[in-house]
Chain A
Amino acid sequence: MVAQGIPEIGAYIGFLFVSTVALIIVLRLLVTPRDPRPTPEKKKPFESGQIAIGPGRTRFIIQYYPYLLMFVVYDVMAMFLFAWGLNLRALGEAGSLPVLVFIVVLLIPLGYALHLADHRENW
C-alpha cells in the first residue's frame, strides 16, 4: 500500500532513520566514559567555579507573588471569553452585552490589584 503521494521508499527511509537513532543510543551507552577517577568536586552543584555554599534550594524573594494570585483569576477569565468568541456570530449584539459587563467587572479589580502590586510592603 502506497500512502497518498508518498512513495513506499519513504516508509523505509523513516524506518531507517528511527533505527539509526536507536542504534546511536545503544552505541553511546556502550561507548560512554565510565568516569574512572571520580572526584568529590565533580558532582557538586555549579557555582561559577566556587565551592557551593549552603543549600541548593535557597530562599527566594517572592516579590512577584501578587501576579501569581492575579493569574489564577484572569486566566479563567480568558477561558470564558473563548466560549463567547467562538459563538460570536450566533450570539450577536444581544448575547455580547453580558460579556462586556463581565470584562468590565473583572478589569476594575485588576487595576486595583496592579496598583497594590506596586507597593511591595503589602505582600
Chain B
Amino acid sequence: MLGPLQPLVDMITSPLFLMIVLFPGLTSIAIIGALLGWLERKVTARVQLRIGPLYASPAGGILQMFADLIKLSFKELFVPENSDAFFFIMAPTTGLVIGAALVGLIPFAPGLQIANIEVGLPAFLAIITLSPSLVLLAGWSANSKFPFIGGLRALFQQTAYEIPLWLSALGVIMMAGSLNLAQIVAAQSAGWFIIPQALGAFIFLVTSVAEMERLPFDLPEAESEIMMGWQAEYPGVLFLAAQGPGFVKLYAFSALFTTIYLGGFLGPSFLPPLFWMLLKTLVIIVLIMLLRSTFPRVRLDQLLRAGWTTLLSLAIVNIGVTYLLVVGLPTF
C-alpha cells in the first residue's frame, strides 16, 4: 500500500524498535533521567528543610531539569587549550551510551526487555566496569589538575568496590542457578532473594552507590574538595553529557537491584507487572537519594580499606551462607 516506504514503516512499528526508542529505551531514559534530577534536588531539599525547585512548572518545579537542559544546550561550547579534544568529547558521550546499554538489559515486564541475553547479570556488571576508565580518560584529557586528580580517584575507587560488587552478585547466581536476568526473576516467584541474601543485598547496595560515584562515595567529583573533579572543565552541553550518565546509572542500578533482590516485576496481579517494577525501582532510588543527604563523604583511604577488608570479607561470608542454603551442611 505504501510501496517503497513499507519496509521503513514496518521497521519503526516493530516491537524491538518501539522498545529501543520508546520504553524501556531512549525516550524513557532521557525523560526519567531528567525527572530523577528533579527528584534528587527535591528530596535533598526536603531533608535539609528547604523547598527545592519550585517555579519551572505548576507542579512543584517538575520541569526544572528540562529548563536546565535547554539552558545548558544553548551555552557556548569550547574545549580548553592543550586538552586532548577527541577524548575530551568522547568520554562523556560514551558514558551516555554505556548508561543506555545498561537499561537495555533489564526485564521491566514479561517480554518487555530489549536484550534478553543469557549472561545478563555479568554483562551488566561488565559494561559498568568501563565507566571509571572513561572518567580517568576524561580527567587526563582535560589537561587540568582537578580533573586529573578526580580521574585517578575514580581508578583507585574502582579497585575498592569492584570485587565486593561481583561477589555479592554471585550469591544471587548461586541461588537462582542462572545468569539470565529474566530467569533470576522467575526463580524468585517462591520468595524474594532479599531475605536469604540480606547481607549480599546490603553489600550490593553499598558498592553500587560507590560505582555510581554518588555521595557518600563521590570522590571523583567531590564538589567541595576538588571542584567537581573530572567534570570541572566541561562547558555547556558536554557538562550535561557528563552529568547525565549519573542519573541513568542510578535508574539502571536501582532497576537491577529490584530485579535480582526484590522480585523484579513480580507482585499481586491486580496491577500490571510494569507498575510493580517501577514502584520498587522508585523506592530504591529514593533510598539511595536519602543516603546522599544523610552521610558525609568518606576519604579515599577509608574507602579502599573498607572495600578490601570489611566489604570483601562480608561478601565471602555471604557466599558461604548461600552455599549452606543451597547445598546444605557439609557431611564430611
Task: State the A residues within 8 Å of B (CB).
Answer: 1-4, 6, 8, 10-11, 13-15, 17-18, 21, 24, 28, 31-33, 35, 42-48, 52, 56-58, 60, 64, 67-68, 70-71, 74-75, 77-79, 81-82, 85-86, 88-89, 92-93, 96, 103, 107, 110, 114
CB within 8 A of B233: which of A31, A46, A60? A46
Q: Kindly specify which of B6-14, B205-213, B246-254, B282-290 makes contact with the partner chain.
A: B6-14
B163 touches A74 (CB 8 A): yes
Q: Is the interface of A mostly helix, strand, loop or mixed?
A: helix
A6 touches B323 (CB 8 A): no
CB within 8 A of A24: which of B22, B73, B167? B73
CB within 8 A of A1: which of B14, B140, B237, B332? B14
Question: Closest approach, in angstroms, between the C-beta of B41 and any C-beta of chain A?
Answer: 23
CB within 8 A of B142: which of A48, A56, A71, A77? A56
Given contacts A81-B170, A88-B174, contact A45 B327 (CB under 8 A): no
B170 touches A46 (CB 8 A): no
Distance, CA A4 to CA B22, complexed state (A): 13
CB within 8 A of A46: which of B79, B140, B146? B146
Question: Closest approach, in angstroms, between the C-beta of B193 and any C-beta of chain A?
Answer: 14
**Which residue, of A33, A52, A86, A103, has the highest number of chain B Cβ atoms within 10 A?**
A86
**CB-CB contacts below 8 Å: B1-23 with A:** 10, 12-15, 17-18, 21-22
Q: Which residues of A contact B74 (CB under 8 A)?
A: 28, 31-32
Distance, CA A47 to CA B219, complexed state (A): 18
Distance, CA A110 to CA B26, complexed state (A): 43
Given contacts A4-B111, A78-B170, A82-B122, contact A17 B27 (CB under 8 A): yes
Q: Which residues of B contact A46 (CB under 8 A)?
A: 80, 144, 146, 227, 232-233
Question: Closest approach, in angstroms, between the C-beta of B278 and any C-beta of chain A?
Answer: 16
Least CB separation from A29: chain B residue: B77
Given contacts A14-B18, A17-B27, A92-B327, contact A67 B160 (CB under 8 A): yes
Q: Which residues of B contact A13 (CB under 8 A)?
A: 22, 27
Question: Closest approach, in angstroms, between the C-beta of A65 and any C-beta of chain B?
Answer: 9
Question: Closest approach, in angstroms, between the C-beta of B165 and any C-beta of chain A?
Answer: 9
B170 touches A114 (CB 8 A): no
A114 touches B309 (CB 8 A): yes
B148 within 8 A of A: yes
B18 touches A11 (CB 8 A): yes
Q: Which residues of A contact B178 (CB under 8 A)?
A: 86
Q: Is the interface of B mostly helix, strand, loop or mixed?
A: helix
B149 within 8 A of A: yes
Q: Which residues of A contact B144 (CB under 8 A)?
A: 45-47, 52, 56
Q: Which residues of B contact A10 (CB under 8 A)?
A: 18, 22
Question: Closest approach, in angstroms, between the C-beta of B108 and any C-beta of chain A?
Answer: 13
B186 within 8 A of A: no
**Which residue, of B18, B144, B166, B227, has the highest number of chain A Cβ atoms within 10 A?**
B18
B13 touches A3 (CB 8 A): yes
Q: Which residues of A contact B146 (CB under 8 A)?
A: 46-47
Question: Closest approach, in angstroms, between the C-beta of B200 and any C-beta of chain A?
Answer: 12
Distance, CA A47 to CA B144, complexed state (A): 8
B330 within 8 A of A: yes
Q: Which residues of A contact B148 (CB under 8 A)?
A: 56-58, 60
- Chain B 18-51: CB-based contact to A (< 8 A → 1; otherwise 0): 1001100011001000000000000000000000
Least CB separation from A8: chain B residue: B13
Q: Which residues of B contact A107 (CB under 8 A)?
A: 316
B76 touches A18 (CB 8 A): no
Question: Closest approach, in angstroms, between the C-beta of B177 and any C-beta of chain A?
Answer: 6
Question: Closest approach, in angstroms, between the C-beta of A119 and any C-beta of chain B?
Answer: 13
- 20 CB < 8 A contacts A-B: A1-B10, A10-B18, A13-B22, A18-B26, A21-B30, A24-B73, A42-B78, A43-B78, A43-B81, A45-B233, A58-B148, A67-B304, A67-B308, A71-B158, A74-B312, A82-B170, A82-B173, A88-B174, A89-B326, A93-B331
